[in-house]
Amino acid sequence: MSIRKRTTKIVAKRHDLNYFKRMSRVRAWQWWLAAVALAAAGLWFGTTTLLRGGTLLSAGPMSSSHAVFGERCELCHVPVVAATRWTPALGMRRHVPDSACLSCHVAEPHHPAESTLHPRCSSCHEEHVGATHLAATRDAGCTQCHAHLETRDGVVRVAREVSSFAGNHPEFRLLRTATESERSAATALVFNHAEHLKAGLKGVSGPVTLACSNCHAATLGADGRQGDGMQPVKFATSCQSCHSLEFDRHVTAQAPHDTPEKVHAFVVASLTEFARQHPEVVAAEIRSWPQQPPLPGVAAMAAPRNAQQWLQASVFRAETILWRERCGLCHKSDQRLPVNGGLPVYQTVTQPAKWMPGAVFRHPAHRAVACEDCHTQALTATGEHAVLMPTIATCRRCHDGHSSPQGPALANGHAESGCFLCHSYHGPETAALTVKGLALAKLARR
């Protein structure tokens, strides 16, 4: 039996080398199925886009501040294909232009004459990440300039390199630049915090132990909520219950906590009225002068001979007690207190509403922390240091850089330390929130 010989040419002739030029039944079905799938996907996408708008392309839930917009994505996002009279807008561009933000918010540029970089609003304020506060921006938005600060004129008026609060942030300017004497003279008051925080102080109704809240109260907003700052300490509500302004045993009323001129007028009027109503008492004191011990450091007064001299002597004694023992206990004077009937000149008392006007600080956010935990100097201050602001080291004990403003709260109690907590990029004024007749301040609270 002979063996059949097959060459490559013979084998090649058995295969149709032009098969790809003709459509087979299987390939035809494949093309038709692919076309139908693409058409169905396009039909689904077009239908859902018309029915659901931009929510189909949403990257995530909106913040609580912008939740009032609902599904009106076009208020912020520019469509890829603008709407016409017959067709709706298609697609939404990812990046929101600044013009969309400025149509609602009044935001001033950040040092436009000095800064060399002005980022977009959306590069710092991240939307579609949940109910996060939009002001809780990441530090990268700040450190892109402040880590190596450069200005247009080459003059840097603040710290040149600040990369984080817990790292190389400088000491607060108030504590860094003000001298000890400047801080002592800031309020023109002499107040011994350490003495007032001792236990068992002598009170009107017995021993008392004071707390910071006995004198310092938070401000209240128009809605009755606790404000960010502290109210000025008032003598009538915080001090007078222990430090009375009595000046004479014959007058039950206390002197007003006012200027020396008004105090002098009140003392003269009160003693004159007493002399008019009780001439027999005045006559008895003139006959048996003096009935009261002499004042320390004041020469003995000559015995009065008539009611007018009694009035002058009584006014002098009462005002000497007031100027030296009452008013002079807290108020500073640039001159020696008068002893011959003159009026003293005290320094003007100042109680700033904000000691650090360039920073944002909210006392309600720190209500879980005791006052003395931050104002540590209050326990030892004897009156020479009227400004008891916490140092940056005190703040870093909690704000230590181990908590992210965009992340979940940590179980170990670390507090956020982002730049946004204390610094306002757009200036100290709250941005106005009005758009298209809609007042957003009531709907989008900070």
Q: How sure is the predictor about 35, in pLDDT bands with cuts at 50, 70 and 90?
A: very high
Q: How sure is the predictor about 345, in pLDDT bands with cuts at 50, 70 and 90?
A: confident
Q: Report residue 77 as tokens.
A: 């996002």
- Short-list 66, 67, 130, CA closest to 103: 66
Angle between helices 279-287 and 260-277 (to 10 degrees): 100
- The residue type of 322 is L
Q: How sure is the predictor about 57, in pLDDT bands with cuts at 50, 70 and 90?
A: low
In angstroms, the CA 440 to CA 66 distance is 9
- The residue type of 250 is H
Question: What mean pLDDT comes out for the span 171-184?
Answer: 77
> Do 430 and 195 contact (CB within 8 A), yes or no?
no
> Do 304 and 313 contact (CB within 8 A), yes or no?
yes
**Radius of gyration over every alpha carbon of the chain, rounded to an integer in angstroms:** 39
The yes-or-no verdict on residue 435 having pLDDT over 50 is no
Mean pLDDT lowest among 1-10, 199-208, 300-309? 1-10
Predicted confidence at residue 340, as pLDDT, reads 55
Question: What mean pLDDT comes out for the span 328-351?
Answer: 75
Top-confidence residue, 45 or 78:
78
Q: Report residue 78 as tokens.
A: 């520019």
b/e burial code for range 29-51 (CB count within 10 A of at least 16 → b)? eeeeeeeeeeeeeeeeeeeebee
The residue with tokens 């002058």 is: 312
Question: What mean pLDDT comes out for the span 190-207?
Answer: 86
Express as a percent the part of the chain with pLDDT over 70. Answer: 83
Top-confidence residue, 424 or 272:
272
Q: How sure is the predictor about 403, in pLDDT bands with cuts at 50, 70 and 90?
A: low
Q: Which residues contact residue 343 at a Cβ distance below 8 angstroms, ignoring those fewer than 6 apart?
A: 260, 261, 264
- Beta-strand ranges (E) seen in 174-323 are 201-203, 206-208, 218-220, 226-230
Predicted confidence at residue 258, as pLDDT, reads 93
Residue 170: strand, helix, or coil? coil
- Beta-strand ranges (E) seen in 253-365 are none
What are the beta bridge partners of residue 439? Answer: 434
The residue with tokens 């058409």 is: 39
